[in-house]
Amino acid sequence: MNHRKIDVPDLVRQKCRTLGKAGLEWLDGLGACIEALERDWQITVGDSLSGGSAGYAAGATTRDGAEAVLKLAMPAMDGNGSFENEVAALLLAGGRGYVRLLAHDTGRRAMLLERLGVSLATLGLSPAGQRKAICATLRAAWVPVPPASPLPTGADAAEDLARFITTLWETLNGPCAPRAFEAALAFTQSRKVAFAPRAAVLVHGDAHSGNVLLDPGQPRGAAPAFRFIDPEGLVAEPACDLGVLMREWPEELTGNPLRRGRERCAHLGRLTGVHPQAIWEWGFVQCVATGLFLVKLGEAQAGLRLLTVAEAWSGS
């Protein structure tokens, strides 16, 4: 089949290059993989979709004429979510607060998903308006998880983040103040100790506005509603998701990062009923981990801005 040009996002290409042979082979094999999935799932794959950072996505049409999305995850790497955990989370959610999973192929790291609307990030809402919409979506998506779930826990996530931060800190020769690094590690330990299975829910893990899409199934005249895509998939305390919202929109925090960060933290607590200290600790860890990761990827300006926020927060 003669496909349109496969437009892989620049960030995905950059990540693939850091993986070496495995990443480059994945890029080279995308066309053949898409053709095979078209045959196996009886779908027609259309144009590439923008916005992804961990794989390739394209519009698709099913045999019945329904619009869908084909998603192909790039090879596993630190900083990207687990394909297997994403599948498990979507199956567990069953469409409650999340996109519905129509088919998946673990060997080819492929998923067929229902087609949702545009992302929250494109709607022109203020950061405060986006946070309100995300928190409302999170409240619907924080569903209980059966004890036998294969998903990692909040304690596991805290341990992984501690290792991730330590490795990058050493590799990058400490690009921020040591007190920020030390506080991040202390907070990972605090959240690990705080994990309580009975209070845990299904957590997205990367609930930023680019991963929140309009739900096209709302009745005419109803208020806009949203659902999540691209979950990392965790069994954790709700504050774990809200920590992501603490690292977003860093430009809002300039001038007085500590005061404005505390104000945002308190507001997120009011929107969700989650204890602000837990939000603060997860948010601090997110700022440091994401800042270090961006520096590693060559996005030094964006990474250092987050690390500067963390330095200011570490003085509290």
Reported as a pLDDT band with limits 50, 70 and 90, residue 138 is: very high
Q: How confident is the model at residue 182 (pLDDT cuts 50, 70, 90)?
A: very high
Q: List pLDDT tens digits, range 7-36.
A: 888 888 888 888 888 889 998 899 999 999
More confident residue, 78 or 42: 42
**Whether pLDDT at 121 is above 90:** yes
The pTM for the full model equals: 0.87
Question: 120-313: which CATH architecture?
Answer: Alpha-Beta Complex (3.90)
Contacts of 278 (CB under 8 A, 6+ apart): 191, 194, 237, 239
Q: Are 157 and 240 in contact (CB under 8 A)?
A: yes
User: pLDDT-derived band of residue 4, with 50, 70 and 90 as boundaries?
Assistant: low
pLDDT for 2? 44
Rounded Cα distance between 292 and 83, Å, is: 23
**Long-range CB pairs of 13-21, under 8 A, 24+ apart, other chains included:** 14/297, 14/298, 15/53, 15/54, 15/74, 15/77, 15/79, 15/80, 15/297, 16/74, 16/75, 18/77, 18/297, 19/74, 19/75, 19/77
For residues 117-133, give the mean pLDDT. Answer: 96
Q: pLDDT tens-digit profile of 195-232?
A: 999 999 999 999 999 999 999 888 777 888 999 999 99
Measured distance CA(189)–CA(53) in Å, rounded: 28
pLDDT at 267: 98
The predicted model gives 291-308 an average pLDDT of 94
Q: For 142-167, how does the pLDDT look when each residue is reduced to its tens digit (9 = 90+)? A: 999 998 899 999 999 999 999 999 99
Strand partners, 100: none
Q: Let me know the angle formed at the C-alpha of 112 by 144 and 115, rounded to the nearest 5 degrees.
A: 85
What are the pLDDT digits (tens) for 93-103?
999 999 999 99
pLDDT of residue 219: 79
Mean pLDDT of the chain: 92
CA distance 134 to 86: 19
User: What residues does each domain of the chain span?
Assistant: 10-114, 120-313
Please give the average per-residue pLDDT across 69-91, as a whole number.
87
Instruction: Report the C-alpha gap between 49 and 239 in whole angstroms.
Output: 31
Residue 47 has pLDDT above 90, yes or no: no
Confidence (pLDDT) at 77: 74
The C-alpha atoms of residue 10 and residue 12 are separated, in whole angstroms, by: 5
Per-residue model confidence (pLDDT) at position 173: 94
Closest CA to 287 of 168, 184, 153: 184
- The dihedral region occupied by 95, where left means phi > 0, alpha psi between -120 and 50, and beta the remainder, is left
CATH of domain 10-114: 3.30.200.20
Q: Letter for the amino acid at 255? A: G
